[in-house]
Structures are given as C-alpha cells and as structure tokens.
Amino acid sequence: MSTDTTLSAAAAQPAAKPRSRRMSTSTILLIVAGALVGLSLVHQLANAPDVTSSGAIQAALQAAVPLGLAGLGGLWAERAGVVNIGLEGQMILGTWFGAWGSLEFGPWIGLLIGILGGAVGGLVHAVATVTFGVDHIISGVAMTILAPGVVRYLSYITWGSAGATQSPQVVDQVPRLSVPGVNSLKGLEEHQWFLISDIAGVLRGLLHEVSLVTILAVLLIPLTAWVLWKTAFGLRVRSVGEDPQAAESLGLNVYRYKYYGVVISGAMAGLGGVYLSTVTSAIYREGQTGGRGYIGLAAMIFGNWRPGGLAVGASLFGYTDALQLRRGSESVHALLILVGALLLALAVWEFIRRNRVVAISSAVLGVLSYVLFFSVDKIPTALVQAAPYITVLVVLALAAQRLRPPAADGKPYRRGG
Amino acid sequence: MTADPPAVELKGITKRFPGVVANSDVNLTVRKGTIHAIVGENGAGKSTLMKILYGMQPPDEGEILIEGNPVKFSSPQGAIGAGIGMVHQHFMLADNFTVTENVVLGAEKLHGIGTQAKAKITEISQRYGLGVEPDTLVEDLGVGDRQRVEILKVLYRGARILILDEPTAVLVPQEVDELFGNLRELIREGLTVLFISHKLDEVRGVADDITVIRRGTTVASVKPDQVTARQLATLMVGSELPSPEARESTVTDVPVLVVRGLTVRGPDGRPIVDDATFTIHKGEVVGIAGVEGNGQAELAEAIIGMRDSAGTVELDGVAIAGWDTRRRREAGLGYIPEDRHRQGLLLDAPLWENRILGHQTEPPNAKGFLINVGGARRDTTRIVAEYDVRTPSIDVAAVALSGGNQQKLIVGREMSHQPKVLIAAHPTRGVDVGAQAAIWDHIRNARIAGMGVLLISADLDELIGLSDALKVIYGGRLVADADPSTVTPEQLGVAMTGATGEETPS
C-alpha cells in the first residue's frame, strides 16, 4: 500500500512495470553449465566419480521421473484450486494397476490401466472435495490410507495369499531407446578427465537405454506448460484455481474444470506409479511409492507451481535419491563441498538483500556442511538414505520466501457463493 | 410511437424469496443510448432486480423486453447472448492473471486467447477511451483501472446494454469523474447504461433518467434536472431526512485520546503512518481526510492495537500503547472497521454470534468464563430494534443482510458498550441515505454523552458535517488541519492530494 499506487490512479500513469517472471534460455544454460563444472570439481577434489557417472545420472533420471509426475499431478490439481495430498494414494493405485495390467495385457495397455487407476483415485478425491466440499487435506489423507488397503485386497484376490504384498515378475516392459553412438562415450567417461569425462557420463546417462515412458514423462512437462498457459482449456482450469467466483460470473462451470484438474492430477500420479512398478523395477511391491507423492508435491512447491521449476525440483530430489544407490556414503560426502559452497553463497546473497533470517540459517547450514565434510570420510548410511528428505526440507525452508500459489488454492468453493 | 423500441422494458416484475418479497410489480423503461439510474435504499431490491435482468434469478411474475422482444433468461449466458453485460460491485478479476486472461476467460471462442484477442482488447480500449493495457497483471492495477477492465470484459462479449452495480462505491472522486467520462463515451457509441446507486448527487450529475425503487417496487421515474437531491432522497426513503451537520458543539477540554508520535512501518521499513500526533477531547469528533491508501487505515488499526506501532497512545489518561486489542477494547475503545467483510463480522455466523464478537468477555455476552447465550440473544434483539437492522430474525447469517444492515449491526454492537472513544472507519460506506442518517444520529448522540470519535471517511460531506476538527493525512503524515465550519469540500480535496503541504485555510 504505497502512496504512489493510489495517486497514480488520478495521474493515469501506466501501472505496468516489466516483470521477468521466467528465466531466459541463456540463464538456464548458464546454470546447467555451472552445475556441471561444480560437479566436475567435486568429482576431482573428493575423488568421487559417481557424482557424474552415467550410472548415477541414469538412476537420477529414473528417480526424478516419478517425482516429476507426482509434482505434475500436484500442479494440475492445485492450479484448479484443489490441494491433492492424496497423490501418494493415487500413485499406489498406479503401481498396482500398472503391474497388473502389464502382466495381463502387456506393457502399453498396462501403462494405460495404471494411469486409469490413478485417474479413478483423482475422481474420488474430486467427488469428495468438489461435489461434497470435504476438506481437501482430510480427503487426501483418506485417499492415502484407503489406497494401500484397496491394492492389498486386490493383490490377495488376484495373486493369492502368497502375492498379497508383491506381484509376480513383470517380464514384458516398454522398450528402451538409445541415441546411436552414445554408448561409445563410455571410454571417454572412464578416463576421469576434468569436465570432459563428466559431460560424457551425463550424456550417456541421459541418452543411453532410456525407456519410452521416461521420454513420455519428460515431454509431459512442456506439454503441461503449453496446455495450461497457451490454451483456452488451460486458462479455464487456472481461472478456477485463482478466482472461482470470477470464473463463475463469466459462465464457467467451475465444478467441471476442478474435476478436470483433479482427474488429470490423479492420472499423472498414476503414471508415476506405473513407472515405479514397470520401468524402475519390474514388479509391484507393497510400499513401493515410499512417500514419493509427498516429495513430488514438495518439488511442485519448490518450482513455484510451474512446470519448469517443478522439473528442476524433481531432478534435484531424484539426484539425491539416486546417489544413495551409487556408493552413497562417498558421493554424498563429496557433494557436501558443493552444498556448503552453495549455501554460503546464498547466505552472502541474502545478507546483501537484508534477508537476515534466511542469510543466517543458510550460513549455519553451510558451515555445518563443511564441518561434516572434514570430520568424517563417509556419511553414515542412515543419513545417506535421509538425504533426499533433508534436501526437501532445507530447500523448501529456504525457497518458501517468494512463492506464489494459486490464489484460491485449497479454499472450498460453493456454487453461487 | 415512431422512435426505436426501448432498450430494456420491465413489466410487472415480481420476485419472492422465502419470507420476503424482494420485488413487486416493478415497471421500468430504459431508452436506448441513455444512462438510466436506478436509486433506492440498501435492501430496496435494486440488486435483485438487476440479477433478474441479468438472468441470475428468474422472476416469479412479469415480463422482460429487450429492444422490443420478450425474453426469458435461465442463466447469465442467455442475458449475455441478448447483449446484456453486468459490471459487478465486487470486481470479478483474478489478480494473478493478465488483463487479457481475465477478459477472454469464458469467451475464448470469440478471438482466441492470443494475439488476436489482445488486438481486440486494445481496439475496444481505444474506441471507448478506457486506457487498458492487455498485458498488465491485474494485481498491478488500481481500483479505477480494474473497473475499466470489468467494463471492457463486458464490451468484449458484445454487450449493448451495461448494468453497473454501485460502480462508484469503491472510487475516489477523481476516479468517479473518469468513470462518468467513460460512461458518456459509451452512450455516444449507442450503448445503453443501467446504473445502480444511492449517491444522489452523482446520479443527478450523470443520468438521463432516474427510476426510484422503494421497498421492492418502482415509486417514481424522474428527470435529473427536475428534482433536487433532497427530493430524490425523500422519494427513496419515503420521509424527510436529516443532514450530517453536527449542530452545536459539545467539545469539552478534557482529552480522552492522546496520540503522540505514532509511527507504523511497512514490511520494507518505510513509515506508512509517520509521527502522527493529535488529541481527541470528550465530546469531540476528529475527522481524518485523505485519499485512500495514505495511512488512515493503518492509523486506525494501530490505535485499536491490530498493528505494531511506535509512539504513545493514552486513553482517558492511561497509556495503552503496549496493550493488545482485547485489553484496549475492554478499556473503552470501540471500532467500526473499514472492511466489514474482512473484519468486524463473521459472515457465516448468525447475527447474535456476531453481536458477541469483540465483546465476548463483557456482559451481556459473558458470565464469568462462559458465554451467556441468552443475554447475547436478548441484546441482539434490542440492537436489531433500536438500530433498525432489517432482518427476518437474529438467527440468520450475517451474509444474508444487505451492506447497510450489516453496518447498522456493527454500529449497534460497538455503541452498546459505551466506548470512551469510537474509531469509525468509513462508518457509512455502502450504506443508503436512510441508514446513513441513523448512523450519524447515533454518533451524534454518543458524542453529546461525552464520547470521542476518530472519524475516517472518504465522504467529504460527511467529514465536514460531522467533525469538530479535521486533519488531512497524506503519505502517512498529518499534513494539515482544517476547520469544518469554514472549509469546503474542494479545498479539502486539494489538500488531500498533497498539493499545498501547508495549512489549508482555517
């Protein structure tokens, strides 16, 4: 409420001020390059080849995809104004129906059935929250409690008591593709040359033996951005999340667009589930989702309710998740160099911007990273396993300062209200 | 009849709700290419009538003719199709959307949502002189601009008949002038404007025809140059009414509220209220004049204790600066908040619960630690009767009342605890003349009994008429004093824009 804004109305000043809400391509490329150089340095300084090995990158990609899909699920629902904390439950439905469908009808139909399973979960959430006005959190939690029970029951009647907690092996998977020639980078990667080996490792990790589902999932990010921001349908979905009364006054059926958003949300989470049971692994197992629905939601918040940011968040969390499988104790230990440096840089930056609380907290965390780095040679396994979750906590705490959720997100809406 | 058929003709419209008849036998004829004002008290049935015309509610009886053709609307879609557009009193705009996104929403088929739509918006904006930029975020726009976006939204859908529901309620005087300029531009292009208001001077200034509604029915159709504002008001209320004049002074020399060096800082550290110092005596009304957003809201919130502030505040000789709001209210501060929907009322709670709000520790609402439901209900009934709150019962939710009646309930509640000082922020905003006069009377009577009042208002006549002393706030500073017995609204208006910065004539 500054004086200027009120007086400008009288003076008829153009109120528009340029805002750069998105990063330019060159900025993004710079950040990617910076990350590569940083990781290369870590690789050399701490002698930790796995921070950029093709194996780690491939594992990171596979870990990031379900998180990203869960995040996209969160995005679709919350852009329509419904908080979908039931993503976890919809993912669970996806894992089971995906595995079952793949076993019965082959991988592609299985994929579709898994997506449908998630979508049905979304539909249930939509019926509860949109039609009956149930609190979004309560309905979401109910979904997350209900889904494991449902799939356990289905497992039991499908595969008998022996298969109550896991399915038979899924033999037939969606094909994987490789960019021709990329495998020859293997030699380059093994040389351990600064930067060159790292780039080779990253490229090979991203382009060799990639499942078609991974490609589909990655394409869903720009597709979501395009649909939500460039089509009339997307505008309507976003409008019911920003200001349902305004949308209603323009003759939109608000309920319908909320349904669309939440059902698509469930479908995305379902696809994330299918990915876990038929691409990352080849078996449905109870508890396979392991809280990825929630981490996906965190990735979405980190990404400020935007597909691009969400993808970055999912990659970050996926990468931390993947490292624990690749000599995690050493790799995570090595990464502390980079983490500490980033936190200290953030501290300086926030200090200049007079953001004391964030500055001090990141400085403390940065120093702690280095203390940890120098005091031990290996991070205890328990901590390594917790790394993705710690990352989520730290990143969210530091990022929460400038977030802009949809204005009517999570608020109950009644027609004519 | 050789002329065109009227743009809108309503014949014998009747609408009943359970327990009330909102409209009975309403007849209205709106000539094409004119500004037609519909005036009436709050709750007289203007809004219901417009909702019927806009297809939001079907009439129980009667006939609607648009350009001579009888129509029946089952939804706003039908009305839009017939060329009727509605500019709502509360803006229906998503803040985080651009102007274009807000305008094309729901009408994407017309010109898409991209370049073509932007071109169309720019074209309409230029044609009617609206000055709207398609790529601006609505969040960055002022109130007047937002209203023009609303008008543009309606024009974009091809409306030929515009309904504006109390469009000036949220505007400052300059913005009102701009709006009227826009409206004249619209009728010059052959459009028809229906304009709902209870601000009679404005109506007389801009309308070509005026229809008066009282208690749900049309009582008169007049030409603005043939009636005075007072005659119009009499038609509206059905009886003679008083003016805001405070008459003989009741000011004593006993200070009851002393504010020294009060400073409120914004999140960026800049002062929103800057070193405000003033004294209110028993029986004195001190008016604060200022263009909205210059710190008056924050000043009121700081005194009532809702906002952190530096400086001293003394109520009846006791320093209350460090106290919380609860304690300040119990000590005798009454508060009529600026935005009764955000503060002051629980819209979904019944009236008697709203009666308790803010006084839940005091009789008749409390007995020790417990809420005294019976006492609160009895006292609510008393307030409803004494303050003429028009409601079917004290068990209806506050949201069901018209704005004026909600306000009367708040005034009644605050007055019932004999405050030593009443902080009244826009006490008659959005309130019709009848209720306005009643609220003025209550303030005046309490003042005679020795209450001090801090009056914040955008209505300069109200400020001048009611206040014993006037202060002008600009950019958070009290920049000038004025004597209400000599100052004119024009002089005050000039001082409010910070033009002089020094003493205005006093």
Residues 6+ apart with CB under 8 A from B338: B297, B300, B425, B426, B429, B456
* Interchain pair A407, B137: CB under 8 A: no
CA–chain centroid gap for A218, Å, is 11
**Three-state DSSP class for B164?**
strand
pLDDT attached to residue B20: 67
Q: Is the pLDDT of residue A4 over 70?
A: no
Higher pLDDT, B239 or B200: B200
Which one of B101, B114, B140 has the shortest CB-CB distance to A16? B140
**Using the beta-carbon criterion (under 8 Å), do B476 and A15 form an inter-chain contact?**
no
Closest in A7, A230, A250 to B106, CB measured: A250
CB burial class (10 A; 0-12, 13-18, 19+) of residue B229? middle
Q: Which of B93, B102, B99, B94 is nearest to B137 (CA)?
A: B99
According to DSSP H, which parts of B10-97 are helical?
Answer: 46-53, 76-81
Residue the block writes with tokens 């001048």: B464
Mean pLDDT calculated for residue range B36-43: 81
- Give tens-digit pLDDT for A366-388: 898 888 888 888 788 888 888 87
Chain A: residue whose CA lies nearest to B75: A251
- Return d(Cα B50, Cα B64) in angstroms, integer: 12
- Residue A75 confidence (pLDDT) above 60: yes
- Residue A174, pLDDT > 80, answer yes
Angle at A267 between CA A266 and CA A273, to 5 degrees: 90
Verify whether the Cβ–Cβ distance A235 to B105 is below 8 Å: yes
- By CA distance, what is B108's nearest residue in A? A232
Binary contact (B112, A232; C-beta < 8 A): yes
Mean pLDDT confidence for B388-412:
87
CA-based nearest residue in chain A for residue B92: A246
Q: What's residue A272's pLDDT?
A: 96
C-beta atoms of B105 and A246 within 8 A: yes
**Nearest chain B residue to A257, by CA:** B106
Cα gap B90→B248, rounded to integer Å? 39
Q: Best residue in A4, A8, A242, A256 to probe B by mutation, most B CBs within 10 Å?
A: A242
> Which residues have CB under 8 Å from B113's CB, separation 6+?
A230, A231, A232, A235, B100, B101, B104
Burial grade of B429 (CB within 10 A; 0-12, 13-18, 19 or more): buried
* B142·A238 Cβ contact <8 A: no
Of B93, B108, B133, the CB nearest to A232: B108
Per CB-CB distance under 8 Å, the chain B contacts of A246 are 92-94, 102, 105
Cα B280 from Cα B197, distance rounded (Å): 34
Residues of A in contact with B172 (CB under 8 A): 6, 9-10
Mutate: best of B105, B121, B339, partner A, most A CBs <10 A: B105
pLDDT for res A369: 87
Q: What span, in angstroms and rounded, lies between the C-alpha atoms of A85 and A146?
A: 13
- Name the more confident of A176 and A50: A176
Question: Burial of B372 by CB count in 10 Å (0-12 exposed, 13-18 middle, 19+ buried)?
Answer: middle
Whether the CA torsion B138, B140, B142, B148 is positive or negative: it is: negative
Contact B106 A236 (CB under 8 A): yes
Name the more confident of A19 and B165. Answer: B165
A390 vs B103 pLDDT, higher one: B103
The DSSP output letter for B400 is: G
Residue numbers of A between 375 and 414 with CB closer than 8 Å to B = 404, 406-407
Give pLDDT tens digits for B311-353: 999 999 899 988 999 899 999 999 998 888 888 899 889 999 9
Distance from CA of A13 to the nearest CA of B (A): 10
Nearest CA in chain A to B91: A246
Tracing tokens 């000590």 back to the chain, one arrives at: B331
> Can you give the pLDDT at residue A410?
86
Residue B499's pLDDT band, with cuts at 50, 70 and 90, is: low
Q: What is the pLDDT of residue A14?
A: 38
Three-state DSSP class for residue B259: strand
Chain B partners within 8 Å of A7 (Cβ): 291, 497
- Decide if A169 touches B, using CB distance below 8 A: no
Binary contact (A16, B266; C-beta < 8 A): no
Q: Which residues contact B342 (CB under 8 A, 6 or more apart)?
A: none
pLDDT on residue A125: 96
For the ranges A193-197, A301-305, B284-288, the lowest mean pLDDT is seen at: A193-197
How far apart are the C-alpha atoms of A210 and A204, rounded to whole Å? 10
In the numeric block, the tokens 């080996």 are attached to: A197
User: If pLDDT is split at 50, 70 and 90, which confidence band does B43 have?
Assistant: low
* Element holding B260 (H helix, E strand): strand B255-265
> Which pLDDT tens digit goes with each residue over B51-83?
888 888 888 888 899 988 898 888 888 888 889
Lowest mean pLDDT among A5-14, A364-373, B402-411, B494-503: A5-14
**Exposed/middle/buried for residue A66 (C-beta within 10 Å: 0-12, 13-18, 19+):** buried
pLDDT score recorded for residue B444: 86
Q: Across the interface, do B106 and A252 touch by the CB < 8 Å criterion?
A: yes
The pLDDT confidence band at residue A279, using thresholds 50, 70 and 90, is: very high
Residue type, A147: A
Which residues of B fall within a CB distance of 8 Å from A15?
136, 140-142, 145
Q: Give the closest residue to A126 by CA, choosing from A242, A237, A239.
A: A237
Q: Cα distance from B111 to chain A (closest Cα, Å)?
A: 11
Instruction: Judge whether A357 is closer than 8 Å to chain B, CB to CB.
Output: no
Element (H, E) at B85: strand B84-87
List the single residue in B77, B112, B272 with the smallest CB-CB distance to A1: B272
Contact A7 B291 (CB under 8 A): yes
Q: Which tokens hold the place of B79? A: 């009305």
Q: Supply B498's token pair.
A: 């910070």
Start-end of H helices in B165-294? 173-188, 200-206, 229-237
**Candidate from A45-54, A241-250, A334-343, B181-190 with smallest mean pLDDT:** A45-54
Distance, in Å, from the CA atom of B206 to the CA atom of B184, rounded to the nearest integer, reads: 8
3-state secondary structure chain A: CCHHHHHHHHHCCCCCCCCCCCCCHHHHHHHHHHHHHHHHHHHHHHCCHHHCCHHHHHHHHHHHHHHHHHHHHHHHHHHCCCCCCCHHHHHHHHHHHHHHHHHHHCHHHHHHHHHHHHHHHHHHHHHHHHHCCCCHHHHHHHHHHHHHHHHHHHHHHHHCHHHCCECCCCCCCCCEECCCCHHHHHHHHHCCCCCHHHHHHHHHHHHCCEEHHHHHHHHHHHHHHHHHHHCHHHHHHHHHHHCHHHHHHCCCCHHHHHHHHHHHHHHHHHHHHHHHHHHHCCCCECCCCCCHHHHHHHHHHHCCCCHHHHHHHHHHHHHHHHHCCCCHHHHHHHHHHHHHHHHHHHHHHHHHCCCHHHHHHHHHHHHHHHHHHHHCCCCCHHHHHHHHHHHHHHHHHHHHHHCCCCCCCCCCCCCCC
CA nearest neighbour of A129 among A259, A269, A251: A259
Lowest-confidence range among A51-65, A132-146, A313-327, B324-338?
Answer: A313-327
Radius of gyration of chain B (CA): 24
pLDDT of residue B122: 93
> Distance (Å, rounded) from C-alpha B161 to C-alpha B5?
14
Which of A345-354, B13-22, B234-243 holds the top average pLDDT?
Answer: A345-354
Partner-chain contact A9 B102, CB within 8 Å: no
pLDDT of residue B19: 62
A11 CB within 8 Å of a chain B CB: no
pLDDT at residue B343, as a whole number: 85
Residues of chain B contacting A16 with CB distance shorter than 8 Å: 133, 135-136, 140
Partners of A247 on chain B (C-beta within 8 Å) are 94, 105-106
Element (H, E) at B355: helix B351-356
Contact A4, B266 (CB under 8 A): no
| pLDDT value for B247 | 60
Residues of B in contact with A249 (CB under 8 A): 76, 86, 88, 92
Across A166-180, B18-32, B274-288, B488-502, the highest mean pLDDT is recorded for B274-288
Smallest CA-to-CA distance from A342 within A394, A270, A301 is with A394
Q: What percent of chain B has pLDDT over 90?
A: 26
Nearest by CB to residue A6, choosing from B104, B107, B291, is: B291
Task: Give the helix/strand (H/E) hosting B304.
Answer: helix B296-304
Per-residue pLDDT at A10: 34
| Per-residue model confidence as pLDDT tens digits over B140-161 | 888 888 889 999 999 998 889 9
Q: B421-425 and B161-165 as β-strands: parallel, antiparallel, unpaired?
A: unpaired
Query: Which residues of chain B neighbour A236 with C-beta distances below 8 Å?
Result: 105-106, 108
Cis omega (within 30 of 0) for bond into B364: yes
Report yes or no: A284 and A96 within 8 Å, Cβ to Cβ: yes
Size of interface A-B (CB pairs under 8 A): 110
Band of pLDDT at residue B279, cut at 50, 70 and 90: very high
Asked if A249 reaches chain B (Cβ–Cβ under 8 Å), the answer is: yes
pLDDT of residue B40: 81
Q: What angle do CA A15, B343, B308 make, to 5 degrees?
A: 75
Cα separation, A389 vs A385, whole angstroms: 8
Cα separation, B114 vs A243, in Å, equals 21
Q: pLDDT digits over B226-263, tens only?
A: 888 778 877 877 665 555 555 667 788 889 999 999 99
Element (H, E) at B300: helix B296-304
Collect all residues of chain A within an 8 Å Cβ-Cβ radius of residue B292.
6
CB A235 to CB B137 under 8 A? no
ipTM: 0.80
Report the C-alpha gap between B173 and A241 in whole angstroms. 34
A1 contact residues in B (CB cutoff 8 A): 266, 272, 293, 297-298
Average pLDDT over residues B207-235: 85
* Residue numbers in A near B140 (CB within 8 A): 15-17
- Give residue limits of the domains in chain A: 52-182+194-323, 327-400
Using DSSP, state whether B267 is helix, strand or coil: coil
Domains of chain B (ranges, CATH numbers): 8-237 (3.40.50.300), 255-332+418-496 (3.40.50.300)
Q: Can you read off the two tokens belonging to residue A327?
A: 């000599």
Length of chain B counted residue by residue: 506
How high is the pLDDT of residue A5? 34
CA distance A398 to A366: 12
Identify the closest residue of chain A to B271 by CA–CA distance.
Answer: A2
Strands B469-474 and B452-456: unpaired
Q: How confident is the model at residue B200 (pLDDT cuts 50, 70, 90)?
A: confident
User: In CATH, what number does A52-182+194-323 get?
Assistant: 1.10.3470
Average confidence score pLDDT of chain B: 85
Q: Which helix (H) or strand (E) holds B496?
A: helix B489-496
Percent of chain B with pLDDT over 70: 94
- CB–CB contact A250 B92 (8 Å): yes
Rg of chain A taking only CA atoms, in angstroms = 23
> Which chain B residues touch A19 with a CB distance below 8 Å?
137
B402: closest CA of chain A, how far (Å): 15
Question: Ranked by mean pLDDT, which of A157-166, B224-233, B444-453 comes out on top?
Answer: B444-453
